[in-house]
Amino acid sequence: MTAQARGRCRICGGGVEEVLDLGRQPLSDAFRRPDDTGPEFFHRLAAGRCRACTMVQLTSEVPRERMFHQGYPYRSSGSAVMREHFARTALGYAETELAGRDAPFFVEIGCNDGALLRTMAGAGVRHLGFEPSGGVAAVARGHGVNVSTDFFEEATAAAVRESHGPADVIYAANTICHLPYMESVLRGVAALLAPDGVFAFEDPYLGDILQKTSFDQIYDEHFFLFCARSVRSMAERFGFELVGVERLPVHGGEVRYTLAKAGARRPAAAVRRLLDWEDEQGVADPEALAAFASAVADIRSDLIDLLRMLRAAGKSVAGYGATAKSATVTNYCGIGPDLVSYVCDTTPAKQDRVTPGAHIPVRSPEFFAENRPDYALLFAWNHADEILAKEREFREAGGKWITYVPEVRVL
């Protein structure tokens, strides 16, 4: 199985024009054993824009089983802020959409370790999570969450409609943008969703990505970069209507889109406001994307210059957070263990491995405490508040943080 180059939009079949080439990249979550000398999978990572529907998307596709499997390492519950965000999200639906319904049914696509559904389980709400990555699905089950390890798509969604009846809410966080086979997914949603139900999903927002030049939101798993305009067009194509949008501060800026079956609900005023704002800003315009691509190249040279200068001055640098995003940064910029000697991360399945492509060793936070570098490169910049608060001592002892979002800076 190799990556499939397409050149055609995965939503509407229109022509896709490449806007940013991020070069040869590994699978962003394929952390390797240090002694593994076997071949490593690489693909060419590039983003493009559909001339017809404006959807920004990767120009080639990695087979889903290569990314999402038993050993998929990412755990949603690794951040206290995200645990809180998901608990609040679950309670919000329990108190609004689900309240007053007879035996309501809540479905989550990509429930991972159950960060959100454990609250539903705890509240006794009928629920089901789809999670094909078996390792994290088992963690969710350990928290009392009902999980199917099928990939959500038309056939698997229809089967759940048969066995469980319609869903009142279908929710997904950081998952819908991972699914190139969108037609099948939205047919599945149409089959499973109750006539007056809602389908809501939160994903990194193109408007924020452009504003912050956060090009590391582009990697194999993130197939689409959504904005309100492209999501509205996608929704309408498959018999839905975009009825709600909400900007969220998590993961560097996301939008929660709410879709309903066409004609079932009145769109909130916020939808028009965000669409107008996107028009004013030119969020999905080719010019904005060209400016983004040139800002990305500037960040690469600034970051490499800084790291080389620090090495020449005899300073030590470690990475903080072995994120999927950091695979794009290290492999695009050519950052290896010579410039960043290790990366510290709390995830057990990443520790004592090396990062994809760049092969930087991953170590525990305890190792970081005992082997303090002069500088820490914040790969998990989206969790900056949480991390800087918990690592206050690093700074107090003279340690410095480096970030590259929205520009290369020493904090």
Beta carbons of 153 and 188 less than 8 angstroms apart = yes
Beta carbon of residue 388, minimum distance to ligand SAH (angstroms, whole number) = 21
3-class state of residue 383 by DSSP: helix
Coil/strand/helix, residue 363: strand
Strands (E), 221-309: 224-225, 240-248, 254-261
Q: Does 178 bind ligand SAH (CB under 6 A)?
A: yes
What is the nearest approach in angstroms of ligand SAH to the Cβ of residue 161? 15
What are the structure tokens assigned to 320, written together? 């903080």
Nearer to Zn ion, 53 or 167 (CB): 53
By CB under 6 A, name the one of 57, 59, 133, 217 that touches ligand SAH: 133
Nearer to Zn ion, 180 or 252 (CB): 180
258: closest CA among 179, 202, 199? Answer: 199
**Residue 304: partners with Cβ closer than 8 Å, 6 or more residues away:** 333, 334, 335, 339
Residue 126 burial (CB count, 10 A): 17
Residue ranges in 385-404 that form contacts with ligand DWN under rule CB under 6 A? 386-387, 390
Site string for ligand DWN, 206-225 (x = CB under 6 A): ---------------x----
Residue 358 engages ligand DWN in binding (rule: CB under 6 A): no
List the one residue from 324, 335, 354, 377 that touches ligand DWN (CB under 6 A).
324
Least Å distance between CB 103 and ligand SAH? Answer: 23
Name which of 12 and 318 has its Cβ closer to ligand DWN: 318
Closest CA to 328 of 20, 25, 21: 25
- Contact by Cβ (8 Å): 267, 236: no
Taking CB within 5 to 8 Å according to partner kind, which of ligand DWN, ligand SAH, Zn ion, none is near residue 148?
none
What would the two tokens of residue 156 be? 């698997």
Contact region with ligand DWN (CB under 6 A), list: 10-18, 40-48, 228-236, 384-392:
384-392
CB 398 within 8 A of CB 375: no
Q: Residue of minimal CB distance from ligand SAH?
A: 110
Cα 183 off chain centre by: 20
**Residues lying near Zn ion in the complex (CB under 5 A):** 9, 11-12, 14, 50, 52-53, 55
220 binds ligand SAH (CB under 6 A): no
Residues in contact with ligand SAH by CB under 6 A are 64, 68, 72, 74, 76, 109-110, 112, 130-133, 136, 151-153, 173-175, 178-179
